[in-house]
Amino acid sequence: MHVDDDAHITGIPHVYTTLFLVIILCSLATWIIPAGRYERINERDGVYEIVPGTYRPVESSPAAPTDTLTTVYRGMVSAGDTVFFLFITFSSIAIVVATGAFHALIAKLLTILKGEARIFVIPLFIFMIGFASSTMSVFEEMFPFIPLFVGVSVAMGYDALVGMSIVALGIGIGYSGSSFNPFTVGIAQQIAGIDLFSGAWYRVFCHIIMATVASLYVMIYAARVARDPSKSLLHETHRRNVHIEEKINAEYPLTFRHILVLIVLAFGIALIVWGVTRKGWFFEQLTAIYLFIGITSGLIMGWSPDKISHVWAEGAKEITSTCLKIALAKGVVLILSDSNTLDTLVYWLTIPLARMPRWAAAEAMLAVQTAINFFVPSGLGQVAVSMPIMAPLSDALNISRQTAVLAFQFGDGLSNILWITGSMPIICKFARVSPRKWLRWFVPLFAIIYAVQSLCMAGALYIGY
């Protein structure tokens, strides 16, 4: 699951430091930025849409010095529903991941595809990993599989770039085209005040297009390397491991219990889709389904209640840091909204964008979200920081909030395997490929998929998404 830990690159402040400094700066800014308000309509769960063209100055109410500290607590309380939703769902999915069922399924499929069919390993696993990423928030859990895919790719006559790209593109595109990921699209839509997981059909469409483009790119490169190894950007430095099939079977056997876990997982996802689309389920009902999936998976594996609880608690520990970041980011929003300066910032942002055609403004939102991910390389962190501004900004630009969420997803997903502040150095380390080689191979594909995302943004506007 794509949750950043507390490790960070030398020279870049810890995200807690950054967020607390932002709170301080925002508190000071409330004494400088003029106060103003938009009129609001269509209240939903405490979230209102702003009415474009209704901005007006109001009486200033700058933050008091004590607000800088009290807003931390207030932010945690205000973000309570989101935070506890994340605790329960993330911890429950952690149980499914710990069973090893998903890993065993991948390993089994790798041993089935042989001979001429080997080229189809590429699209199969890009789509498969992408589906898991799009629905279950699988991200870092796939990193240990990178060496395995590298070994398989080399054994098949390709190179390490092919193997690492299968995993990296699967998770990156999965987040970009996320359909039912509760930790990105779910939170973004909750902040934007739109129906949970609504508009999934278009995100699935975008996901399929991006994954198809990526698969073709990798397959063309792989076929070229298979025909002429000198075409590899790595010049065969990774050619090794001729007994990869035996190694896969030994390390990741697919058992009957694993199959049952996968069936429970598929049933749970289908139930979530049905409940959200047909019954209007929200956090309360969804957490119950995730708990059912997690607990049942542990019982199927023959685990004791204590072991299930231990794994669940470990998942909670892993998500705690991110939940605190969301709470701090919420504090930033409270400082700006309580002082009536948030609407002023939105109004100022609309001035240059309002001079653009709507499609150009939407493309600018995509570019901004992609850039933000360099500084906030966390899906949950980025949604907490950007959506409170992007949602009302989209109202002012007469762009739907659903499209604003789409811009966030596109900006957050694929760039995680591009920016050095994201996961790019980690995947390169697992694959033993230099970041320079990876970027030389990946940047052209990133540009192509970014163009696809831009077309998808234009398409969203055209169909009134």
Count of residues making up the chain: 465
Give the C-alpha separation, 16 to 23, whole Å. Answer: 11
Instruction: Locate 255 and state its tokens.
Output: 């058992």
Averaging pLDDT over each range in 11-20, 94-103, 391-400, 442-451, which range is the top one?
Answer: 442-451
Residues 6+ apart with CB under 8 A from 356: 364
Least confident of 79-93, 111-125, 393-407: 111-125
Contact between residue 117 and residue 109 where contact means Cβ atoms under 8 Å apart? no
| DSSP state for residue 64 in the 8-state scheme | P
Q: What is the pLDDT of residue 217?
A: 96
Lowest-confidence segment of 226-230, 403-407, 409-413, 424-428 by average pLDDT = 424-428
Helix, strand counts (H, E) of the chain: 19, 4
DSSP for residue 42: E
| AA letter at 223 | A
Q: Quick one: average pLDDT of 322-334? A: 78
Q: Residue 402's pLDDT is what?
A: 94
Tell which wins on pLDDT, 366 or 135: 366
pLDDT digits (tens, 9 = 90+) for 18-71: 778 888 888 999 999 999 887 877 665 555 666 767 888 998 889 888 888 888
Which tens digit of pLDDT belongs to each residue from 88-109? 888 888 898 889 887 788 777 7
How confident is residue 446, by pLDDT bands cut at 50, 70 and 90?
very high
Q: Which long-range contacts (CB under 8 A, 24 or more apart) does 243-252 make?
A: 244/148, 244/151, 244/152, 244/155, 245/110, 245/111, 247/151, 248/107, 248/110, 248/111, 248/148, 248/152, 249/107, 249/111, 251/107, 251/148, 252/100, 252/103, 252/104, 252/106, 252/107, 252/108
pTM over 0.85: no
Q: Please give the pLDDT value at position 240.
A: 46
Residue 113 has pLDDT above 70, yes or no: no
Contact 423, 417 (CB under 8 A): yes
Residue 308 — pLDDT band, cuts 50, 70, 90?
very high
Average pLDDT score over residue span 260-275: 87
Task: Calculate Rg over the CA atoms of the chain.
Answer: 23
How far apart (Å, rounded) are the C-alpha atoms in residues 184 and 399?
A: 20
Task: Provide the mean pLDDT of the chain.
Answer: 82
Whether the CA torsion 194, 195, 201, 203 is positive or negative: it is positive
Residue 340 to residue 437: CA distance in whole angstroms: 48
Residue 249 has pLDDT above 60, yes or no: no
The phi and psi torsions of 49 (rounded to 5 degrees) equal -85, 140
Can you give the pLDDT at residue 158?
Answer: 87
Residue 238, CB half-sphere, CA atoms under 13 Å: how many? 27
Q: Provide the residue type at 288 as one letter.
A: A
Give 13's DSSP letter: P
Confidence label for 250 from pLDDT (cuts 50, 70 and 90): low
Q: How confident is the model at residue 386 (pLDDT cuts 50, 70, 90)?
A: confident
Tell me: pLDDT of 86 over 80: no
Segment 162-219, tens digit of pLDDT: 989 999 999 999 989 888 887 788 888 888 888 888 888 999 999 999 999 999 999 9
Q: In this predicted structure, what is the pLDDT of residue 6?
A: 47
